[in-house]
Amino acid sequence: MTSDQTPGRPPAPDAPRTLADPGTPFAVVDGARLRRNARRLAGRARRLGVPLRQHVKTAKSVEVARIVDDAGPGPITVSTLAEAEAFADAGYTDVLYAVGIDPHKLPRVVALLRRGVSMTVLLDGVDQAAAVRDASRAAGLPIPALIEVDADGHRGGLPPGAPALVEVGRVLDAADSLAGVLVHAGESYFATTPLEQRAAADRERDAAVTAAGRLREAGLRADVVSVGSTPTAHAATDLTGVTELRAGNYVFFDLVMAGIGVCSLEDLALSVVVTVIGHRRDRGWIMTDGGWMAMSRDRGTASQAVDQGYGLVADLDGNVIPDLVMTAASQEHGTLAARDGTELPDLPLGTRLRILPNHACATAAQHRGYYVVDGGGQAAGAPVITGWWERVSGW
């Protein structure tokens, strides 16, 4: 690769394709780990007897989704309408937009419905429901909607016993838009033991099933009972009454998930390649060209038992270097330091490293796509790049 090649773009076809070639920093995905992660949750969903609706918000990559849906485009969850539109272009026709709907976005939802996409929106208030009802009537077709239910006080949603739940359901039913309920147990990301994670999964299920039951008792439909988060999806043992399971982070995993025991470090499929650009031996620092613009500012492990700074450091082959942590980040500089005063490794100027992120979703968002390594192939002492996967950006 020539020195003036734009970072984040795949190398020219005639260029050597190893992790030693692209301009740093750049994101890399281990395809073997990704497939293993996908198989793990797919098998669990089969054993639980519910279909898996992958959340594409983490990778935002059609190529990643196709690995998860190896039988062809399946149901997906999105966090932006840009994702919905890009995945519709790629043949995905069952899409759930799992962010509370802004009425100004409903024309884009209607446009997707007219393309033949089953496009479901999410809401938790009477005003939103009225906007969906009115837009459905104006378009001459129902906009499917799920009512968000709050299982743990984490974010949006109505408590399963809230009087407004049935009121919202009646407004949607007037336009034949009521599809069911959705729950996301966001507090499960702070559940640090298997027992706590199973309890979170049970609360999530119970909130969803209770809310759906209240709608049905009121003579309303609740065909869809949707639950999921990466921790609860891996912890659930009984999903009776649930019609689908959602998760997204699991395709890559990250240090937060490893910190609560949902995965191991060997499962992390996403990393960022950086280069050593200097040393501050007087302060015990190694400087790299990967700052928060490459890693994000996410410090999700700061409240965990082991604070991993801005990320753990691995060599170019992906082997974690013991006790070396990315401890600080400015815009384009990363600071590496030894944990607890241990001796710094000898990493000369120009050494390439891989940083494992705290939060895969946030780190992935800093990049336009992913170089892919797969199968452990080596050339000139560096892992061989087997592909480049574009990433959807914007909203």
Question: pLDDT 10s per residue in the chain (395 long)?
Answer: 333 344 445 554 445 489 999 999 999 999 999 999 999 999 999 999 999 999 999 999 999 999 999 888 999 999 999 999 999 999 999 999 999 999 999 999 999 999 999 999 999 999 999 999 999 999 999 999 999 999 998 789 999 999 999 999 999 999 999 999 999 998 999 999 999 999 999 999 999 999 999 999 999 999 999 999 999 999 999 999 999 999 999 999 999 999 999 999 999 999 999 999 999 999 999 999 999 999 999 999 999 999 999 999 999 999 999 999 999 999 999 999 999 878 899 999 999 999 999 999 999 999 999 999 997 788 888 999 999 999 999 99
Same domain, 82 and 188: yes
Same domain, 244 and 265: no
Same domain, 156 and 219: yes
Same domain, 146 and 197: yes
Same domain, 267 and 243: no
Whether 25 is covered by a domain: the verdict is no
Whether 136 is covered by a domain: the verdict is yes
Q: Can you tell me the distance from the alpha carbon of 347 to that of 274, in angstroms, rounded to the nearest whole number?
A: 12
The closest alpha carbon to 243, from 180, 163, 155, 174, belongs to 180
Write out pLDDT tens, residues 154-172. Answer: 789 999 999 999 999 999 9
> According to the model, what pLDDT value does residue 96 have?
98
> According to the model, what pLDDT value does residue 154 have?
79
Q: Which two tokens stand for residue 263?
A: 């995965």
Asked which of 183, 213, 248 is the last residue of a domain, the reply is: 248
Asked which of 248, 272, 306 is the last residue of a domain, the reply is: 248
3-state SS track over the chain: CCCCCCCCCCCCCCCCCECCCCCCCEEEEEHHHHHHHHHHHHHHHHHHCCCEEEECCCCCCHHHHHHHCCCCCCCEEECCHHHHHHHHHCCCCEEEEEEECCHHHHHHHHHHHHCCCEEEEEECCHHHHHHHHHHHHHHCCCCCEEEEECCCCCCCCECCCCHHHHHHHHHHHCCCCEEEEEECCHHHHHCCCHHHHHHHHHHHHHHHHHHHHHHHHCCCCCCEEEECCHHHHHHCCCCCCCCEEEECHHHCCCHHHHHCCCCCHHHCCEEEEEEEEEEECCCCEEEECCCHHHHCCCCCCCCCCCCCCCEEEECCCCCEEEEEEEEEECCCCEEEEEHHHCCCCCCCCCCEEEEECCCHHHHHCCCCEEEEEEEEEEECCEEEEEEEEECCCCC
Asked which of 248, 279, 313 is the last residue of a domain, the reply is: 248
CATH number at residue 36: 3.20.20.10
Write out pLDDT tens, residues 279-332. Answer: 999 999 999 999 999 999 999 999 999 999 999 999 999 999 999 999 999 999
Same domain, 240 and 329: no
Query: How distant, in Å, are the alpha carbons of 56, 141, 377 from that of 248?
Result: 6, 30, 28
> According to the model, what pLDDT value does residue 168 have?
98
Whether 2 is covered by a domain: the verdict is no
Whether 22 is covered by a domain: the verdict is no
Same domain, 232 and 347: no
Query: How distant, in Å, are the alpha carbons of 54, 157, 172 from that of 98?
Result: 12, 11, 17
Q: What pTM was estimated for this model as a whole?
A: 0.93
Same domain, 81 and 121: yes
Same domain, 36 and 63: yes
Whether 347 is covered by a domain: the verdict is yes
Say how many domains are in the chain. Answer: 2
The closest alpha carbon to 153, from 186, 126, 182, 130, belongs to 186
Same domain, 232 and 91: yes
Whether 15 is covered by a domain: the verdict is no
Q: Which two tokens stand for residue 251?
A: 């395709």
CATH number at residue 273: 2.40.37.20
> According to the model, what pLDDT value does residue 7 have?
47
Whether 242 is covered by a domain: the verdict is yes
> According to the model, what pLDDT value does residue 6 have?
47
Domain that holds residue 351: 261-390
CB distance 146 to 181 below 8 Å:
yes
CB distance 338 to 344 below 8 Å:
yes
Q: Which two tokens stand for residue 333?
A: 């500089």
Burial of residue 221 (CB within 10 Å: 0-12, 13-18, 19+) is middle
Same domain, 89 and 210: yes
Same domain, 199 and 281: no
Whether 265 is covered by a domain: the verdict is yes
